[in-house]
Amino acid sequence: MSHNSESDLFTTVVVPDAAAVDRLADHFNLYDPELPYVLDEVTDRTRDKCPVLHTDQQGGYYLITGYNEVAAALATPEVYSSKGGKSLPPVQTVDMPPIDSDDPEHHAFRKLLNRFFSKAGLAKHEPAVRQLAKNAVDSFIDNGKAEFVHEFAEPIVAGALCRVILELDDPAQEKHAVKLVNQIGATNSAEAWANITGFINDLVTNYKPTGRDTVFDAIATGEVLGRDVTAEEKLGVVLVLFLGGLDTTKSMIGGILRHCAQNPELEDRLRDPRWTRSDLDEFLRLDSVVTGLARTVTADTELGGVRLHAGDRVMLHYYAANHDPAKFDHPHQLDFNRARNPHVAFATGAHRCIGSNFARLQIKTAFEELMPRVQNIRFPDGVTDIAWKPGVAREPMSLELLFDKR
């Protein structure tokens, strides 16, 4: 298997070969640069072998790829603990509640934050998100082409996060924050984590409460379980809200546009304002940008016929679960006519993604501003697909597309 260098991102064409698929299945590694190009083949192979399959990578853990097994683990957080971090290898420098916590702490942090991420709580931010989207489209609409990850999706998502989460309105700080998050996605190294942690810690340390009902004020002045939020917890909460929303949402926007370039008939669907009611869920299921998150087993148990022991690490692979043919017919295809779509792209249960409504708002608004102004979205001549970054997030390296003005 081969793919082109990062300097030639738009002409990447990779043909899976059986030997590479076997190797990646036997030694599953989220950060193998070949994995994104054969993720369907590899996760199908691992699921066929065993839906709870041990890998020797990142210190050794069990890869959970069956839908029923992933759903069962999500439904029993007391057995599959979120403490100790969600990444493999565990290079985080601080815990990030609520995602890295169990009840009762998890529930207390969710209670502190939930109102800001409800549909009602987010409604006041819609005009700002819309203006970000409009500005992004304005910046390239006369060019007939754009790099849609960094010129379209990233300014919208980063701008929205900086305003809603970090209360920043400084383009230089915004650009720096994006750079630090990209380092996490590219390397997952201790240095990258230290860099983003230092940046966010400076914001948290220097923040002066305003008395306004904002996310940052709630974190800075809030209480959980009858006590003040600690300095480390404040850092962790802000980190997860910012990190969890940037790569994921911008990648989802890019992924939908990639589908448009491959399937021109999708453009009309995306111009119908009703598309986000159900079509968006099918995009979420198929692309499942957060491919999986880790848990720690707290007690001896059995999952998918495999004995697990207290202390074992597991990776709940949401992407694989959403592509399980036992749950979804023709799982590797877009199908907008599914009677039910119980995907786990945002996880389920107590740890369902707190930012799911925010992500939907940004995606919806981005396409409402883009699609009335462009048509005939397509790849440049000779290009059929894109290059992908390895890692937890299924993220396009870049997405250069041509279009006509409407």
Report the pLDDT value the prediction gives residue 403, as an integer from 0 to 100.
98
Distance CA 147, CA 152 (A): 7
- According to DSSP, the β-strands at 61-64 and 313-317 are parallel
Distance CA 91, CA 30 (A): 14
Whether residue 398 lies inside any domain: the answer is: yes
Place of tokens 């009309």: 268
**Per residue in 208-239, pLDDT tens?**
888 888 998 999 899 999 999 999 999 999 98
- According to DSSP, the β-strands at 306-308 and 395-396 are unpaired
Regions of the chain short of the pLDDT cut 50: 1-13
CATH of the domain at 80: 1.10.630.10
29 by DSSP, 3-state: which?
A: coil
- Contact partners, residue 36, CB within 8 Å, separation at least 6: 388, 389, 390, 394
**Per residue in 322-367, pLDDT tens?**
999 999 999 999 999 998 999 999 999 999 999 999 999 999 999 9
HSE (CB half, 13 Å, CA atoms) of 262? Answer: 12
Report the pLDDT value the prediction gives residue 173, as an integer from 0 to 100.
80
Whether residue 26 lies inside any domain: the answer is: no
Helix residue spans in 207-347 (DSSP H): 215-221, 231-262, 266-271, 275-287, 318-321
Whether residue 186 lies inside any domain: the answer is: yes
Whether residue 244 lies inside any domain: the answer is: yes
- Contact partners, residue 67, CB within 8 Å, separation at least 6: 321, 322, 324, 326, 327, 328, 344
Return the DSSP state at 290: B
Whether residue 278 lies inside any domain: the answer is: yes
**Per residue in 371-400, pLDDT tens?**
999 999 999 999 988 999 888 889 999 999
Whether residue 7 lies inside any domain: the answer is: no
CA distances from 346 to 3, 89, 248, 350, 358 (A): 30, 22, 11, 11, 12
Whether residue 17 lies inside any domain: the answer is: no
Whether residue 10 lies inside any domain: the answer is: no
Question: What's the domain count of the chain?
Answer: 1
**Per residue in 160-169, pLDDT tens?**
988 888 877 7
Rg from Cα positions in the chain = 21
Backbone angles phi, psi at 324, to 5 degrees: -80, 115
Which residues are registered as beta bridge partners of 314?
62, 295
Q: Provide the residue range defining the domain that includes 347.
A: 50-405
- Prior bond of 273 cis (ω within 30°): no
Q: What is the pTM of this model?
A: 0.91
Q: Is the dihedral of CA 34, 35, 39, 42 positive or negative?
A: positive
Distance CA 88, CA 297 (A): 14
- According to DSSP, the β-strands at 227-228 and 223-224 are antiparallel
Distance CA 159, CA 170 (A): 9
